[in-house]
Structure 1
Amino acid sequence: MAYNSVPHQGWLWSYLNDTAEWDRRLERRYDEFVTAAVDAGVDRRTVAANFEPESAIWTPVQLRAEFGTVEWRSPDAALPSQVLQLADAVASLMDHLRGTEVRIEGETGRVTDDKIVLPEFDAVLAYANDAIRDGATCDSVGSYLDRMGFDVDAYEPVAPTFDRPEPVTPRDAREIRLDHADRLQDDVRQAAPVALD
């Protein structure tokens, strides 16, 4: 909802054919960002001095030419141990890409020994919306993730632990922050050192 007034921000972008197409989209979105800032009363030079195309967009997944990476922002609210576990699963999937046929078709998606089938983009959006609304334990999301090689049961999402009556009082907010600070501290202390690739 935070991005409803800013088109193309905060949403997944559809599949693309190559990095040149990404660059074109990025420039268009940057131009829209600058226009929105100027329309809101921000000086164009101030926007240009503080933002470039890569830093002016907010999407769950984006290419980062500056670092030569694909940035995936969705797991940023997870505990560090689970982010590392998820990164390991994604790295395994990326290794599987080498020498594997990849195609886009249908609504389900799957990973097999010899191919990776990605669902049509509208299906991906439906899975993302189901996940936002109902979490990874939603039947459709869980089945999709399982077909794509992810063990949903191996993760303990933080979000369900925030289940509190609304509105959250300042006292409740403090309690939530302290509970999760303890959980973060425990997670960091128990984690084994990570060897870098």
Structure 2
Amino acid sequence: MLTTALSLKAAIDELFARHNLSIRRVRGQGYDGASNMSAYYVHCFTHQLQLVVVGLATKHYEIYRLYKELSNLLNVVGGSCKRIDLLRESLGLNSEVETGSGKNQELSLARAGDTRWSSHEKTIIRLLTLYPSVIDVLEYTEKSGEFSNYQNESRGLQEFMKTFNFVFYLHLMKYILGVTNTLCQALQRKDQDMLNAV
């Protein structure tokens, strides 16, 4: 038997047909570096989409700055138990938290990760929900002597968060990430039609 890509494909097709299996349900493929097997290789579509979004976002200065400042914001507001308690107080919540699934998850800012770009959407949605309370915490941090190393940063973050560009790009990225997240979910369906996905 020849080991060309075409002959190997025919053998795989025959094996699948003999066992009444669907190629659409294949979840993983490994080629071990064999070039004749990679004639038609499809990378994870969801990962490709996330890489495109990350790549484009980091090349646009305003979006890059938005995420840099969001990272700083998470460090300032969520960097200590005291400031997290201040956020909760601003939301009108007492410090006694009821635990359990779904009970406390939306009460803090979510830290985003580059490998799961959809986590950036969650960060943005939570910031939009908690915006007034986050401003309260930043104002307190700036004026209080307790957090002297964060006073200037808190002031800069407040000024940036009140600009048109911040609000515009925050809502723009919420929209874009909402669309790409929906597409990511569709690309992860269990019975994916590979030709349609391509």
Q: What's the TM-score once normalised by structure 1's chain length?
A: 0.23
* Structure with the larger helix share: 2
Q: Name which one, 1 or 2, has greater alpha-carbon Rg.
A: 2
Larger relative contact order (CA 8 Å, sep ≥ 6): 2
Q: What's the TM-score once normalised by structure 2's chain length?
A: 0.23
* Structure with the larger strand share: 1
